[in-house]
Amino acid sequence: MTIDDSRWRCEVHAYVECRVRGGSWWLYAKPSLPTDSQLPPLLIGAAVDESDEPLRVLGVPADASLPVRDEYTWRVAGPRGGDAPNIVSVAEAERWIARGRSQPWQTTEGFARVTDPRWSHATWLDTSELAAVLSRYEQLTEQPAPAAYCAMLAMMRALERDYLVRAIVWLERRHTAADSSPEIVIPLREYPRELERARNEARRRRPRKHRRIANDS
């Protein structure tokens, strides 16, 4: 496989997280990265020389921040799933898993999660690993790494003055119409602001209960 393999023309979803020692990870930024067919295989270690130590597809860490968990997975409907915008029915989750498009994601949250069928090859990198990927890219292509990736690296280096920092990434393949699977339907995610607006409208439409005024006579 060459570094310019069109199979790797993917969207890269990236999330920069921080934490203090002994603390929990929290989401700092979600950089917008350009579509590229050369960087994705390097990020996940799919195009390296035998002499290189490849990055493994590590998955999304179990201790990822809540926004990252909710982007990478769907909550399976249940009594403890809450009112999150990313809830899928039990039947639909089972259908995704049966067709090999999704898999259960381990969590201790009290409800089940399954991976989003659109995402693949999730991993995470610290600052030095991302720097090594960009350096490798420049060696192979003989051109500078994309500016957005360099900006993400610079941001992570600056954050390291005060925090532990990592970037969680996964890929989204750019499907053509021929690639689409009619059996797998991804429900639209409702977003909190829209969900709250719908609830407020529903409250306004409810008939008011009129209190009876006691007759003093």
> Is residue 47 scored above 80 in pLDDT?
no
Mean pLDDT of 44-52: 60
Residue 152 lies in a domain: yes
Q: What angle do CA 96, 35, 28 make, to 5 degrees?
A: 80
> Is residue 206 scored above 50 in pLDDT?
no
| Structural domain boundaries, residue 153 | 8-174
| Cα(29)–Cα(151) distance, integer angstroms | 12
User: Which two structure tokens, joined as six digits, stand for 65?
Assistant: 């921040």
Residue 23 lies in a domain: yes
User: Which two structure tokens, joined as six digits, stand for 18?
Assistant: 């921080």
Per-residue pLDDT of 145-163, as tens digits, reads 999 999 999 999 999 999 9
Residue 181 lies in a domain: no
When the pLDDT of each residue in the chain is averaged and rounded to a whole number, the result is: 79
The reported pLDDT for the residue numbered 79 is 65
Residue 207 lies in a domain: no
Residue 80 lies in a domain: yes
Per-residue pLDDT of 52-91, as tens digits, reads 444 567 899 999 999 999 999 999 987 665 566 778 889 9
Residue 199 lies in a domain: no
